[in-house]
Amino acid sequence: MKQSLQLKLGQQLTMTPQLQQAIKLLQLSTLDLQQEIQTILESNPMLELSEEHEDAPPSADAEPVSTPESDSDSNSERLTASTDGEEQSWQDDIPEDLPVDTHWDDIYQSSGSGSSANPDHDFDFDSRNSVAESLQDHLLWQLNLTRMSDVDRLIATAIIDAIDAKGRLTVAPEELLEGMPGTEGIELDEVMAVLHRIQQFDPPGIAGRDLRECLLIQLRQLPPATPWLQEAMLVVDRHLALLGSRDFNQLMRRTRLKEGELREVLLLIQSLDPSPGESIAPPTAEYVVPDVFVRQVRGRWTVELNPDIAPRLRINNDYAALVRRADSSADNAFLRDNLQEARWFLKSLQSRNETLLKVATEIVEHQRGFFKYGEEAMKPLVLHDIAEAVGMHESTISRVTTQKYMHTPRGIFELKYFFSSHVATESGGECSSTAIRALIRKLIAAENPRKPLSDAKITELLAEQGIVVARRTIAKYREAMVIPPSNERKRLV
């Protein structure tokens, strides 16, 4: 094979470690950024937290410092005077005669060292650091207070383990019987008997196999004299499907109830809890820390970064001074590499903040109508619009707006929320899909409950406002907002 030299021209994109680090920091959320900073602080000795409030030197007009002897003399005098005064006032407060059935604490307040003068400063360590009780723990606690045989207790434990967070039994009794070890000779009737005992536990409606059984358990635990109790049990037991489809005419025909009577029955059913387990262990709330604050100052919208999302970092000057240029030892190389890495990290962190502020400012400038009038004034916006305005690539804008949140006078929104597609109008303009969703929500909120608006009717109403939207698009937006169709929104007034 003959060897030869060839010259080729080509383009190649090479990402340096600095660029890779900058891109990584750019797409991190607030929580991930704090974890990344904590990791770099633990691994790089050149970085340290910057203390914002340093100890200020004493001023010239400060009070003179007293000697220990004068301090002890003055303190003893003040202590003697205060002790005498307190003893005199305490003796004056003692009544001469006390009732026979009077307790000491009823006359005098406790002055122990453990009490706090300010109730706002009380710290309940147990309540603030204890683990929340789960639904299974609540049921097992009641099971320990219930007298059962060992076999029944084994069955009850298996039933409790099969209850989900909503309080529903997720496994059929037949499957429970087959899956329990050491249950030879146990019949299905015994499992059902234990299940009925578990269904009497708190909260009412627990261990129901479906919605019907869950509601019936709660109705059976109400006092017998409850108004419309029998009618409510009839509707839940036999006509729950008609109630779910809100076919009230057929429901009144089947139950032979008048409209006013059916309204009272529905009010009783609506007072029940379809998910009783969540009352014991409610879902934990997830708090969002905003990355950007938007405020209106003197008629202008201002944007600023949240200073609390990340700690302030700086290079440790004492360690940086140990780096010697001419030294090629291993220790000096270690310090030099960490110093360079620390400078890259600080520069990447600053670049992230500047990019985030620049993109957020451009979004606020484009969506002024939203901040002033609400969702109905939202303008169409895509990543390409912001990328052109700030001179960056669309992929960079996508990284900046992912898992970043903006605190506004109208609430906290993800930066992605302000981007939406456009729908053409009859006048030749454009309307944001977010604004159309707001209009749909407004029309449904103002509809007649007896005759809810259908998707076709909403399409006609939007067309009257100059917005051309297909019926299937209305259905898609409605389902995205978790709004049921018109037949399920119908209700009695």
* Cα–Cα distance for residue pair 223/214, rounded to 1 Å: 17
* Co-location of 206 and 264 in the same domain: yes
Q: What is the pLDDT of residue 30?
A: 85
Give the pLDDT band (50/70/90) at residue 467. Answer: confident
Most confident of 76-90, 102-116, 123-137: 123-137
Give the pLDDT band (50/70/90) at residue 130. Answer: low
User: CB-based contacts of 167: which residues, under 8 Å, 6+ apart?
Assistant: 135, 203, 205, 206, 207, 208, 214, 275, 276, 277, 278
Q: Which two tokens stand for residue 272?
A: 């029940």
**Residue 228, by phi and psi: left (phi above 0), alpha (psi -120 to 50) or beta?**
left
Domain presence at residue 74: no
Name the least confident of 96-105, 246-255, 408-417. Answer: 96-105
User: CB-based contacts of 37: which residues, under 8 Å, 6+ apart?
Assistant: 310, 311, 313, 349
Name the least confident of 32-41, 95-104, 252-261, 398-407. Answer: 95-104
Query: Which pLDDT tens digit goes with each residue over 77-101?
Result: 443 444 445 444 444 444 444 444 4
* Co-location of 411 and 349 in the same domain: yes
Q: What is the pLDDT of residue 309?
A: 80
Higher pLDDT, 392 or 118: 392
Return the number of other C-beta atoms located less than 10 Å from residue 357's C-beta: 16
* Co-location of 327 and 461 in the same domain: no
Domain presence at residue 6: no
Q: Where are the alpha helices (DSSP H) in 368-485?
A: 368-373, 383-390, 394-401, 433-445, 455-464, 471-480
Alpha-carbon dihedral angle through residues 129, 132, 136, 138, given to the nearest 10 degrees: 90
Listed residue (94, 112, 90, 114) closest to 102, CA to CA: 94
Q: What is the pLDDT of residue 412?
A: 92
Q: What is the pLDDT of residue 86?
A: 46
Cα dihedral 226, 231, 236, 238 sign? positive
* Co-location of 358 and 238 in the same domain: no
Q: What is the CATH number of the domain that holds 442?
A: 1.10.10.60
Domain presence at residue 59: no
Query: Which pLDDT tens digit goes with each residue over 280-304?
Result: 877 677 778 899 999 999 889 999 9
Return the number of other C-beta atoms located less than 10 Å from residue 354's C-beta: 11
Average pLDDT of the segment spanning 343-354: 91
Give the pLDDT band (50/70/90) at residue 102. Answer: very low
* Co-location of 412 and 430 in the same domain: no
Residue 148 pLDDT exceeds 50: yes
Domain presence at residue 112: no
**Of 279, 302, 328, which residue is a domain's last?**
279
Domain presence at residue 81: no
**Of 362, 383, 418, which residue is a domain's last?**
418
Return the number of other C-beta atoms located less than 10 Å from residue 223's C-beta: 6
* Co-location of 153 and 259 in the same domain: yes
Give the pLDDT band (50/70/90) at residue 113. Answer: very low
* Co-location of 300 and 432 in the same domain: no
* Co-location of 414 and 434 in the same domain: no
Domain presence at residue 129: no
Residue 17 pLDDT exceeds 90: no
Mean pLDDT of the chain: 80
- Is 0.95 surpassed by the pTM of this model? no
Q: What is the pLDDT of residue 231?
A: 93
* Cα–Cα distance for residue pair 455/436, rounded to 1 Å: 13
* Co-location of 260 and 334 in the same domain: no
Domain presence at residue 122: no
Domain presence at residue 311: yes
Total structural domains within the chain: 3
Query: What is the percent of the chain where pLDDT is above 90?
Result: 29
Most confident of 309-313, 327-331, 338-342: 338-342
**Residue 433, by phi and psi: left (phi above 0), alpha (psi -120 to 50) or beta?**
alpha
Q: What is the pLDDT of residue 386?
A: 92
Give the pLDDT band (50/70/90) at residue 464. Answer: confident
The DSSP result for 286-308, as a single string, is -----SEEEEEETTEEEEEE-TT
* Co-location of 439 and 374 in the same domain: no
**Of 394, 418, 442, which residue is a domain's last?**
418
Spell out the long-range contacts of 421-430 with Cβ–Cβ below 8 A and sequence spacing 24 or more: 421/380, 421/382, 422/380, 423/467, 423/468, 423/469, 423/473, 424/468, 425/466, 425/467, 425/468, 426/463, 426/466, 426/467, 426/468, 427/466, 430/379, 430/380
* Co-location of 341 and 410 in the same domain: yes
Domain carrying residue 466: 422-489
Q: What is the pLDDT of residue 107?
A: 47
Average pLDDT of the segment spanning 128-144: 80
* Co-location of 446 and 413 in the same domain: no
